[in-house]
Amino acid sequence: MARFMIGRNGTDQLNVFLLVLCLVLMVLGAIFRGGVGSFLNGVALALLILSWFRMLSKNLSRRRAENAQYLRRQYQVTGWFRKQKTRWDQRRDYRFFTCPSCHTTLRVPKGRGKIRIVCRKCGSSFTRKS
């Protein structure tokens, strides 16, 4: 098997995502009977075939580009959640404001009273209570 897989793409993060999505759709297809269940099982089968195609493909540059695009999109989604968690963790010590000019998020220490905030990106200033 190892000799057969030489020069082929194998498993990457996009394939793992496709297989997990396939499994979820198969479970949902088993729960919902009838037309919806058949449709979900059909989509799951198509994802399984796509995953096997990607796994056995010898076009490594194309598969790596697809995986890199998937990772960029995944990072955009997980980055938003990561930012929300960081803001939640820092809520006791800092206040977060949005610059009225460029809409950049700015972090200032809490408990300083009314302060003048200068945006580091565009240089505009505004006054807020921290």
pLDDT tens-place values along the chain, 130 residues long: 888 888 888 889 999 999 999 999 999 999 988 899 999 999 999 999 999 999 999 999 999 999 999 999 999 999 999 999 999 999 999 999 999 989 999 999 998 999 999 999 999 999 999 8
9 shares a domain with 26: yes
41 lies in the same domain as 70: yes
Say whether both 127 and 82 belong to one domain: no
Retrieve residue 83's tokens: 């930012």
User: Are 21 and 80 contained in the same domain?
Assistant: yes
Domain count for the chain: 2
Whether residue 81 is found in the same domain as residue 102: no
Q: State the Cα–Cα distance between residues 27 and 74, nearest whole angstrom.
A: 23
Question: DSSP letter at 32?
Answer: S
> From CA 71, how far away is CA 49, in angstroms rounded?
21
Domain that holds residue 59: 1-89
Phi/psi for 98 (5° steps) reads -110, 130
